[in-house]
Amino acid sequence: MGGAARAARKRHGVVMGKWTGKKVAVLYGGRSAEREVSLNTGKACAEALRQKGYDAVLVDVGLDVAERLRAEGVAVAFNALHGRWGEDGSIQGLLESMGIPYTGSGVLASALGMDKPFSKLLFRDAGLKVVEYRVFSHTRAASVTARDLPFAFPVVVKPGNEGSSVGVHIVREAGQLTVALQDAASFHGEVIVEKYVRGKEVQVAVLEGKALGAIEVVPSREFYDYTAKYTPGTTEYFYPARLPRAHYARVCEAGEIAHRALGCDGVTRNDFIVTEDGTPYILEVNTLPGFTSTSLVPKIAAGNGMPFPDLCERLLEGASLKA
């Protein structure tokens, strides 16, 4: 941002952020299965930061990312990556090594958030309700049968280290199991098979340790899959979630516990199934939730009177080194 723009902000009483006038790299794209989502997130965040007066440059993250960051003279990184190498602690470790402050969670919390089998252990240890599940290696997954499961159909099959519902299937009968397992195993991590629990799909946004609110999603498809998440018009959203007051408070508290259990920073989206009796079953914590036009955290923030550019600015101003 130029001197004239900075002077104008001062004249109008605008508080100058610590990254004002410094080069902000919005990291987006990347090499994961969620690349397309990240491209949309990054573009939206970069535009929002520019509206707030920041010198934001988009950096499509490839194998040359370190050289790109040095060449751009970057002072801080706004992480808009999703999936492997961006959400799993990898880029966070690089930024720590380069001494570049960044938004969101640190190396360990990011890695734990992406590792669904391990995070489930931490959730259970923190006292959260976890759906009954079994974990299989990707090399064994194709040979798993109904006899290997201690619960009846329907079940949910998902990769152990992917986001955005990539590779997730609801399997209602034994004949569908092998195909679902093979698809989940194609992502080369462990495969999780969960007992299907009926209830409302509720997502809790937690910002800097405090719940912003809970939103209910009602997809027109079988569940809140990749298409339902990123195709406008395929899902209904209810904010605040249509829950009795006590149940609403309970799921928000569970979101805060999940955020703390992994040691997260910045903003997270915590995914739950809330049963009729109000029990919130934690599914996962998203340490880098989507920030597209259909994404849930911006919807929740807007419901609290926080416009999207203000939300992005708050995340940027919280950027830091964690190691």
List the catalytic residues.
34, 164, 230, 269, 271, 284, 286, 290
Q: Which residues pair with 280 in a beta bridge?
A: 274
Contacts of 302 (CB under 8 A, 6+ apart): 308
Written in H, E and C, the secondary structure of 26-79 is EEECCCCCCHHHHHHHHHHHHHHHHHCCCEEEEEECCCCHHHHHHHHCCCEEEE
Beta-sheet strands, E only, within 93-251 = 129-130, 133-136, 155-159, 169-171, 191-195, 200-207, 210-219, 235-238
Contact of 243 with 278, CB cutoff 8 Å: yes
Structure letter (DSSP) for residue 199: S
C-alpha torsion angle, residues 16, 39, 228, 186 (rounded to 10):
-130
| Amino acid at position 72, single letter | E
Exposed (0-12), middle (13-18) or buried (19+): which is 31, by Cβ within 10 Å? middle
Contact of 56 with 106, CB cutoff 8 Å: no
Cα 178 versus chain centre, distance = 28
C-alpha span between 109 and 122 (Å, rounded): 11
